[in-house]
Structure 1
Amino acid sequence: MESDQRRGRFVDPRLAQTSIDERIRNWSRAHYVTDTTRATYDSHIRNHILPRWSGTPVGDIARIAVKGWVNNQLRRTLSDKSCQDILVLFSMILGEAVDEGLIGTNPCRKLRISVAQLLEPGPDAREHFGPRRWSADPAPRTRKQPADEDHRQAV
């Protein structure tokens, strides 16, 4: 505990008992987004995040529980894109809880879920689906490369 304090990694266990409901309320009030994005966030929170996690202290949200929630609940009725959007939103909320010292790590960070995980193990699963994966961490943006000389239009 003392070494964690010296390294700036100490998390007060009392703060980890903050409910996800309170965390979401504070997070939502602090973020400015467009009306459309707000409506999407509110829908994901109301229909998917709170029904599973309401009342849970942020410190009790385990990585394996998040992975199970996505695979065993969300993916039964939602597209991969919707699941990814919900997971990214949950990760943003919990990431700020880390930044504020409520929890030590984000249980959604670098959580990767592949389509093949939903299938019974079999030799044709990878063949059929390939290495299709997505993560709770947004993909890094790449700089647009200049066009080849042959493809540039003359001015």
Structure 2
Amino acid sequence: MTSGLSVGVEGTGAFAEQVGPGSWRVRYWTDDGVHGSLTGFTTREQARDKAAEIDVERRRGTFIDPAAGNLRLGEWAPRWLEALDVAEATESQYNSLTRKHIVPRWGESGVGDISGMDVHVWARNLRRAGYAESTVATIVKILSMMLADAADERLIVANPIRPCRRGRRRRERRREIVWATPEQALNAAATCGVWAGLMIVTAAWSGCRWGEICGLQTYRLSPRPRPDRGPVGDRS
């Protein structure tokens, strides 16, 4: 049972309210037009100071309803994914990684309860579990974008995920790219049959990627090299 003792002007702004011996709360108006509540204050002065802080933030337009951060990530993620406007392959990847990694770990957490340090620990554990660095980076990027948009929608104050500067910087050994010599390319082509050999020779001397070679059509080729297009010129 509350004592009913309020400090402040109820109805026009935030105010302090006693809810028991040595227990106070702050009541404030939410964007939905109902009273929100912040509890845990042990003195009237603490509650009044918080109420005044909320009123100042409202006048500045910077107030974020603390209750908005209670929205579970498992509820926010489907809304965020639905609003994506990306390539089909990218959307499929984001859905898959969200379903397999993000929601199982963070689905029951409020968006306002996710901390940057907890995310970095989670990412480290994923790497230790054997996931590739690029996969972990993409997973964290997706979660970071979700939280950045949550901040834009005024669910949280700011995206808590920041670059990690704890410990040593990881230096990964880069795989050396080995280029075939003309003789090696011709030898490989000679062992693969006519059509595959032709593709190998074309790729080796044109610099085209494999997907470009597979989609190449003869009627789109220029018989003479052009400085701006290389040895394989597209007529378009």
What TM-score does the superposition give when structure 1 sets the normalisation length?
A: 0.69
Q: Which runs of 5+ in 1 are unaligned?
A: 118-125, 131-152
Superposition misfits of 4+ residues, deviation over 6 angstroms? none
Distance 2:87 2:72 in 1: 26
1:4 Cα deviation from its structure 2 partner: 2.3
Q: Which residue of 2 aligns with 1:136?
A: none
Distance 1:32 1:63 in 2: 26
Higher strand share: 2
What TM-score does the superposition give when structure 2 sets the normalisation length?
A: 0.46
Distance 1:114 1:44 in 2: 25
Higher-Rg member (1/2): 2
Name the amino acid aligned to 2:98. I
Distance 1:115 1:33 in 2: 35
The answer to which structure, 1 or 2, has the higher relative contact order (CA under 8 A, 6+ apart) is: 1
Q: Is the counterpart of residue 13 in structure 1 residue 66 in structure 2?
A: yes
Name the amino acid aligned to 1:104. V
Distance change >3 Å, CA 87–CA 113, structure 1 → 2? farther
Q: Is the counterpart of residue 112 in structure 1 residue 164 in structure 2?
A: yes
| Matching residue within 105, 115, 125 for 1:52 | 105
Distance 2:104 2:85 in 1: 24
Name the amino acid aligned to 2:163. L
Is the contact between residue 75 and residue 107 of structure 2 (CA under 8 Å) also seen in structure 1?
no
Q: Which runs of 5+ in 2 are unaligned?
A: 1-53, 173-226, 229-236
| Matching residue within 148, 164, 170 for 1:95 | 148
Distance 1:39 1:104 in 2: 29
Higher helix share: 1
Distance 1:44 1:7 in 2: 38
Q: Taking every aligned residue pair, what percent have the same amino acid on both sides?
A: 34
Provide Cα deviations, 1:79-101, integer angstroms capped at 9, x if missing partner. 11111111111111100000000
Aligned-pair Cα RMSD in Å: 2.3
